Structure 1
Amino acid sequence: MKSLFRIKSIWLMIILMVSISPLLLKIILTNPTIGSKAAVIKITVFILITALCFLYLFKFNFPKKGSWLVFGFLFLEIGPILTQKFGYVADYDYELFTLFSFFILVYLIPPLRTEEFIKISKNFLLIIYVYGSLFFWIISPAWVLDITYSQGLIAGFDIRFSGLTSHGNSLGPLIGVYLILDMYLPSKFPWRILHNFFALFILLLTQSKTVWVLVVISYLVYVIYNKLLWKKGREKLLAISITSLIIAFTFLVLLLFNIPHQLELFIVKNNIMEFTGRRIIWEITMQSWMLNPLFGYGLELWGPEMQQRYLDILKFAPGTAHNQLMQSLGESGIIGLLGLVFYTFIFLRYSIKYAKQTKGITIILFIFIYIRGVTEVSFPNNIYNVANNVHFIAFSLLILLEKQDYFKRTSKTVSAKSL
């Protein structure tokens, strides 16, 4: 019992450390002195957790499952590690090691039940980024709202809600992942209705268009996977009929309100096909990659110096290439791209393997991460980037499922031998 409590405590600390990273970034940006102290505390706690894990390893056996996922992640990080030395702009960043260590810890420490992990992750997202953000909207609106936003899809709605993160595009994915986890492990009625209402309300306020689309896709994949693929006979026919009616009704509403034409006008008016300036960013990123095709520009890709250099052209300062493929290639060159491709193959393989066991959630998380990677970075090297929260949850879930599966099979083997 004591051992179980210690394991759960370690997991709680790790999930909390990862969960509060976007909040820490907001504090650092708004109050550097307090933010720096918070970052030091986080790193200190992280070191303590690492020490506890290595003490565990000396006492017990080395983990037997999940090694392929870890190997894939190591391959993903080879590019960023090598570019620190061989990139066009050689530079070292301690955050890369800290981030790297968090993911390795998931592999090293004793496993937690997947339901427990999802429940803890869900609760942190709900408390900090749903209700915490709403609370600060009441007591300090200026800290969580951008009232000068002019690129929204909702006419006359010129605010953007960032909540307890640095940007609406950071809050959106966290809310999206909360809703995905709630599909697998829903809260009790009627609390689920209340939590999801506020989560969807905040998601709307973030004006994060990519996440809006991804949440709709996630619900559709969940319904199709659970209501169509595994149904038989009349149940399957009924499910297909209902789904078809919903899709037909949606198209009818779109046509009646002339939505396609309105959307076309909005796209032309706001240059949406330019992906809000992303095409220029991608062109510059490719030029930077060509300076060192094998190892890339380096970790300073879209760092402060590069932001300043292109500020007059872009009129804003992007922190990344706003596309995972471009980021890997520009930052780490061909080595980084190969690492991304290899990790994608491993990640997809295990997401498919455990799809049925998780009601399709592993596949949905994979889709969420990689489609978002078209306009944002899915695997950043900055520990404060919200994409790491999404990646950490998906990666940890797959590792825990692997270990859980291994323990089930070995226990069955032992039982069979005892007979």
Structure 2
Amino acid sequence: MRPDGRTLLWVFGLGTTAVAPLLPHGYHGQVQRHREAYLAGSELLLSQALAGVTLLIAAALLLGPVVRGLRSGAPALPTPGAWGPAAHVALATALFVAAGIVSAALSEHGSVDPMDLFGVLLLAALYVGSQQPFPQLLGQLRVLLRCFIWGSLLSIAVMPADWAFLAPGGAATRDYLGTGWGQFMGLSANPNLLGPLAAVALLLELCAVARGRAWPLHAAAALSALVLTQSRTAWLASAAVLLLHTGPRFKAAKRTLLVLGAVAAPLLLLLPWLHLRMITAVSGVRDAAHQARGLAWRLAWEEFREAPLFGYGPSLFDPEHRTQLFGTADHWIGQAHNQFLHTMGATGVFGLIGLCALVAALIVRARRTAAATKGLSAALVATLLVECATESPLRNLNGLSDRVLFAVAIWTVLVCRTPSEERGPQPPARSALPHPADPPMEHPCPVPR
């Protein structure tokens, strides 16, 4: 049996959940909790085997059409008309990836790790090989995220308390719920990774397409995980649930919300001084540039100003860079905590152009498919944009990780064919009036002369 996109999605999704309990958890402190290698022995072998199988299936899906085309003498590559209705999303993604590779090759600290291409090959293979109807794809994504969410909740009972939760105690941790447990991490390496994934799982469960009888239970599980993470960004992103309603009374309001969001998002995501003013207004801290994410934003902006064309390189905020900045690699800043600023600092203008093209393509695709997906596509893109404001979810999409699972869930919904696209364009209804080219109709009764 020839592997398809469904097989690839099952192997990757279940493999991510299987490997997650083996990975050490990070936390917000300034001292690394785990200094040893991430995996070793049988755990490393299992992780490498699952990642290898995923890559083999992805390679088979990508090379299959080329091999079959060479054997049959047909064109090895599909014509532009056969790329599908989401071709502009695939092309924008390719531009984003290519811009990052060019910047990495030409930047001063540039280097490309082969595993950095894992997410690229995975997304490309899912685009080429996934021909599932939207209801079936949605059902598969629900099962995969249920495994991760329920596994995370199960870790509360079977894992030590300091593993499932990020215990409060430092200035960067929080305990808004007053439970004394801290932030819930579950199978993720960080609460800020589990939060957006739980928000996506909640959106999938609430989408009114092909839902089973147990969907309220699974939605409650996703909501519980989302609340327990105490991730403010994820809480804000979950407000995208409002976009799921497709009733006629809400269409005008949603259209206005999308337009305002499209105008405000570049300002909120690209201007670091506006970030700092927002932090000052909310927290009351005057020196916001040295507090929390404000410091990461300022450092990424400075790296962009130093090398505006190609950026610092993909090693932005890696251990060597942190040692250069802070004198030690044991620092909480491991990213710019903003996708646009991280892209600007790491890959410069080239990467920023690719990222803007990708975001624009996703917004256009979400707008076109919102009705067919009952608002799910628009809600997922809104969730991604909110996450991009305080995190960098599109960086380092390598290996079987929750960050890749988050991107894959959004990607597969946006590039799949909707029911109307499966049926193809419908011929216009024939009018009852005679066409000018048709012969004149004879009058049923002769007209007297």
Q: State TM-score, norm by structure 1.
A: 0.79
- Equivalent residues in 2 for 1:128-277 (5 A)? 128=148, 130-141=149-160, 142-149=162-169, 150-155=173-178, 157-184=180-207, 185=209, 187-189=211-213, 191-215=214-238, 217-223=239-245, 225-226=246-247, 228-229=249-250, 267-268=282-283, 277=292
Supply the AA of the counterpart residue of 2:121. S
TM (norm. structure 2) is: 0.74
Shift of 1:282: 1.1
CA shift for structure 1 position 276: 5.6
Structure 2 CA distance for aligned equivalents of residues 94 and 165 of structure 1: 24
1:23 and 1:71 map into 2 onto residues whose CA distance is 35
Consecutive unaligned residues in structure 1, runs of 5 or more: 237-263
Aligned to 1:38: 46
Give, in whole Å, the separation in 1 of the partners of 2:25 and 2:53.
Answer: 18
Counting only pairs closer than 5 Å after superposition, residues 10-409 of structure 1 correspond to structure 2 as 10-17=8-15, 25-26=23-24, 31-34=38-41, 35-53=43-61, 54-59=63-68, 62=78, 63-65=82-84, 66-128=86-148, 130-141=149-160, 142-149=162-169, 150-155=173-178, 157-184=180-207, 185=209, 187-189=211-213, 191-215=214-238, 217-223=239-245, 225-226=246-247, 228-229=249-250, 267-268=282-283, 277-311=292-326, 316-383=331-398, 386-401=402-417, 405-409=420-424
Closer/same/farther in 2, CA of residues 158 and 114 from structure 1, 3 Å limit: same
SS in 2 for 1:196: helix
Q: C-alpha separation between the residues in 1 aligned to 2:380 and 2:47?
A: 28
Does the aligned pair in 2 maintain the 1:324–1:377 contact within 8 Å?
A: yes
CA displacement 1:60-79 (0-9 Å, x = unmatched): 78453132211100111122
Give the AA of the match of 2:39: P
Whose helix fraction is larger, Structure 1's or Structure 2's?
A: 1
CA distance in 1, matches of 2:64, 2:306: 45
User: Which structure's relative contact order is higher, taking Cα pairs within 8 Å and 6+ residues apart?
Assistant: 1
- CA 1:20–1:361: 2 relative to 1, 3 Å: farther
**Matches of 2:242 and 2:331 in 1, distance apart?**
35
CA contact (8 A) 2:25 2:163 kept: no
Give the distance between the partners of 2:285 and 2:301, measured in 1 at CA. Answer: 25
| Mapped partners of 2:316, 2:248: distance in 1 | 45
Report the RMSD for the aligned CA atoms in angstroms: 3.4
Identity of aligned residues (%): 19
Mark the CA change 1:362 to 1:372 in structure 2 (over 3 Å): closer, same or farther: same
Q: Which amino acid aligns with 1:37?
A: L
Distance 1:373 1:110, change over 3 A: closer
- Cα distance in 2 between the residues matched to 1:152 and 1:275: 22
Decide which structure has the larger Cα Rg and report it: 2
- Structure-2 change in CA distance of 1:6 and 1:267 (3 Å): closer
Say which is worse superposed, 28-37 or 381-390, in terms of deviation: 28-37
| Cα separation, partners in 2 of 1:75 and 1:226, compared to 1, 3 Å | same
Change over 3 Å in CA distance of 1:214–1:272 after alignment to 2: farther
